[in-house]
Structure formats: C-alpha cells, structure tokens
Amino acid sequence: MTERGQFATRLGAIAATVGSAVGLGNIWRFPYEAGQHGGAAFIAIYLLCVVIMGVPVIVAEFVIGRHTHKNVCGALRQLSPGGKSHWFSAVCITASILIISFYSVVCGWIVEYLIQAISGKLISAQDHNAEFEQFVADPYRSVLWTVLFLIANFLVLRRGLKNGIERVANVMMPLLFVLLMVFCVNSMLQPGAEKGLKFLFSPDFSAITPHVAIGAMGQAFFSLSLGLSCLLTYASYFKDSDSLVKNATVVAILDTLVAVLAGIMIFPIVFSYGMTPEAGPKLIFEVLPSIFQQMPGGYVLSILFFFLLFMASITSTISMSEISIAYFGEELRMSRSNASLLNTALAVVLGALCALSFGVLSEFKIFGMTLFELFDYVSSNVLLPLGGIFFSVLMGWVIDRRLVEDELSNHGKLKVKMARPIIFCLKYVAPISIVLVFLYGLGAFNWLL
Ligand code: PFF
C-alpha cells in the first residue's frame, strides 16, 4: 500500500500543480486556437472562462482533495451523501487513461523531434511536411517513441511524490519559464515581429461564433487540467496550512501567462519568416522546424524548443497518471511501483493504438473518428465538462457549507474574501454554462443560428 505523502514545500506543491496545468494545451493548442479564432477576442472569452469557471472548479477540486487527503474514490466516498457518488471516480480514472493515451503520442513525436534536433537532422531536412507525414504514419517509429516517453513518465512516478513528482517540477518549471522568456525575446527581435503580435492580440469580434466561445471554454478546462480529479489528487498532498484560494489563483494566472507567452514566442517568428499560421496542430512539427533552419542559432534553438515542449508535456502526463496511481495504491493496496507499472501498461497498450491511428489503423474508425480522435473527443468534450459539472454541483449544492468555508479559511486562520463569489459561481455559473455547452454540442440551438 502506498504511503500517503505530502509535498515537501508550498512552492513544490505549486510547481507540480502548475506543471500539470502547463502542457501541450498551452504551448501547442492555445496559440493556434487564438490565432485562428479572433486573436484578442478569443483571449478575452478565454480569460472570462478562467475567472468564472476555471478558478471556482479548481477551488472545488482543491477543497475536496485537501479536506479528505485521499484519492478520488476515497474522497468521494467520504464526502458524498452515503458515499454514493464514489462511482464517479471510475469516470475520472477512465478519462485520465484515455487522455494519457492520445497525449503521449504527441509527446512521443516531441521526443523524436528533440533527438532529431540534437543529431542535426532537423536542421538539415529537405521537406518538413513530408517528413512529418511519413514519420507519424510509420508504425514502428511512432509507437516506439510513445512507449519510450511513457517509460520516462514511469521512471519519475515510481520515485514517488517528493523524490519524483515534486523534484522534477521544481527543476523543470523554472527552467520552462526561463526558456519561454528567451524564445519570446528572440521572437520579438525578428524583423516584422509586430505583424505576429497584431495577429495574436488585435481583437476581431466578428470571428467569435458560439462555436468559438465553446472552444474557448473547452480550452480553459483542458488547459487547467479540470474535471478529471487531477487537481483533487494533487491537493490531497497539500499541507493543511496552504491557502487553497491563493494556490488556485496562482495556478490559473501562471497557466494563462504561459499560454499567452507561447503565442508571443510563436507568431512573430511565423510572420517574420513569411509563413502562414493556419497550419494549426501541425504548426510546431512542420512550420517551426523550417523556420529554425533559416534562423541564426537555429540548431540550438530547435533543441531548446523541443526540450521546452518535453518538459511541459511530461509534467502534465505525470499528473494525469497520479490519479490512477493514487487509486491503485490506496483502494487496491498496490505498492507505488506496481501501481505505476499498471498505469504505464494501460497507457502503453492504448497509446500504441492511438499512435497507429495515423498509419495502419487510419481506416479503423468509430463514429467516424480514429482512435486518437475518439479518445481526444470523448475525454476533452464529454468527460472533462461532465467532471466540471459534477465537482461544481458537489461543492456548490451537496457538501456542507461550513466544511467548505472551514477548508477555504484553514479553520478560521485565513480571511477569504472570495469564498462567496466562488460558491456562487460553483452553484450557478459553472454548471449552467457547462450544460449549455453540452446542449449546444448536441445541436440543441441549431434553430438559433
Ligand atoms: N493541462 C494539460 C495541458 O494543458 O496540456 C493537460 C491535462 C493535464 C489535462 C492533466 C488533464 C489533466 F488531468
């Protein structure tokens, strides 16, 4: 059975939680979503979602996790009436494994590109588009890198909370910020950088459709690691003296900052080198390598860039894995090593299938989607928002208000002015908005459009 630990320091707890939030969602997805959907207008809606839904749901997960100091199943058993809602932990654990499976495929690509950057192959390649298409379709290479990435993930997890998760986050998070700043400065110094900044920051409200607004909300959920009990699990390792509202605010601010900095790092160079930002998801694998090729210092920059992505992604997969590892350890009484191994084995099998979705399994479709797309769709668009509703309703309506207030104020030791607005958002704003999004997704408002 796993020893229940705590993060050694408050800074370590924040580094690990920010590490979870900051990932491919910020550096890879946010910039192209914002770029394609109205720039500053998209960012404004995104920020609104972070404030009225993101922070309150983070706080909800933090309260549940820190109060119980248990894995998601144990926590729900303790806090829901009659312990009945603990079945929801199965949804969280399933969602977390689905997300790791498709996410680690992209992480595998990052590792391949990092190695190629180090070996100098990336900088000398002829046609980056063709190389990328060929690579993702290659069954051996893409599976191999996905599996190697998951092994790296396993090696950190097996070392436990303080020596594995916290230590890695303490080193990688500051380094990530430093590298981001270096890239931002480099990007702004390129000739014509203003065009990229204009593209990212000039608001185009006409680009905001309901579809885009919903995209912004989904992005906020994914980026903040919400609705999956990931933050609940990390908060179960927080100290009783930590301020939950402060921690939640710091995490939300830093996560958003990284997303915006990633946009500043990417778009000015894309415009400066005469490329188009429309490449979307393939931007970082096809467009950026060809830019590094032409840029002074491109060899070093390409290595640092993929290293930055590697750090951002592994601290996120570590946090997704911890949900099931805590469950396996505490509920199934497995040792930390075995729990990490089981998590990795599941992710390897499903991750390999997702990796093959770009090649030999590309014709294998369920509801018209490849496995990679299906896992992404089901977890990000269905299970995460469902988790968001679940945790906000649980905290807003079900859990005793005194318990919530005690937890937010550390039993009266802290003055928390934000408790009321947060609970209001959890009771009304978050669940209603998320339900509206669901209905919209099901086409219930088509008559309006
Ligand atoms: N927040 C991560 C990102 O932006 O890439 C993704 C993520 C991590 C989602 C952990 C869910 C999770 F539980």
| Low pLDDT (below 50) residues in the chain | 1-2
Q: What angle do CA 204, 207, 211 make, to 5 degrees?
A: 140
Residue 380 Cβ inside 6 Å of ligand 1? The answer reads no
pLDDT at 182: 94
Residue 21 Cβ inside 6 Å of ligand 1? The answer reads yes
Three-class secondary structure of residue 369 per DSSP: strand
Task: Determine whether 149 is exposed, middle or buried from the number of CB atoms within 10 Å of its CB (0-12, 13-18, 19+).
Answer: buried
Atom of ligand 1 nearest to the CA of 224: 1
What's the rounded Cα separation, in Å, for the pair 423 and 394? Answer: 11
Atom of ligand 1 nearest to the CA of 313: 5
pLDDT at 1: 42
Domain assignment present for 5: no
Q: Give me the amino acid identity at 234.
A: Y
Domain assignment present for 4: no
Residue 26 Cβ inside 6 Å of ligand 1? The answer reads yes
What's the rounded Cα separation, in Å, for the pair 381 and 214? Answer: 10
Domain assignment present for 2: no
Query: If you ran DSSP here, which 8-state letter would residue 362 be given?
Result: T
> Residue 238 maps to which CATH number?
1.10.4160
Q: Beta-carbon neighbour count of residue 154 at 10 Å? A: 22
pLDDT at 232: 98
Domain housing 323: 10-448
Task: Determine whether 144 is exposed, middle or buried from the number of CB atoms within 10 Å of its CB (0-12, 13-18, 19+).
Answer: middle
What global pTM score does this model have? 0.94
Domain assignment present for 75: yes
Domain assignment present for 159: yes
Domain assignment present for 316: yes
Domain assignment present for 30: yes
Residue 54 Cβ inside 6 Å of ligand 1? The answer reads no
pLDDT tens, residue by residue, 205-250: 888 887 777 778 888 989 999 999 999 999 999 999 999 999 999 9
Domain assignment present for 1: no
Residue 319 Cβ inside 6 Å of ligand 1? The answer reads yes
The total number of structural domains that make up the chain: 1
User: Which residue, judged by its Cα, is nearest atom 10 of ligand 1?
Assistant: 225
Q: Per 3-state DSSP, what percentage of the chain is helix, strand, and coil (rounded to 5)?
A: 80, 0, 20
Query: If you ran DSSP here, which 8-state letter would residue 207 be given?
Result: G
pLDDT at 378: 86
Residue 219 Cβ inside 6 Å of ligand 1? The answer reads no
Measured CA to CA in angstroms, residue 17 lies from 125, 245, 307, 425 at distances of: 37, 14, 20, 22
What's the rounded Cα separation, in Å, for the pair 156 and 170? Answer: 13
Provide the residue count of the chain.
449
For residue 243, which of 422, 10, 402 has the smallest C-alpha distance? 10
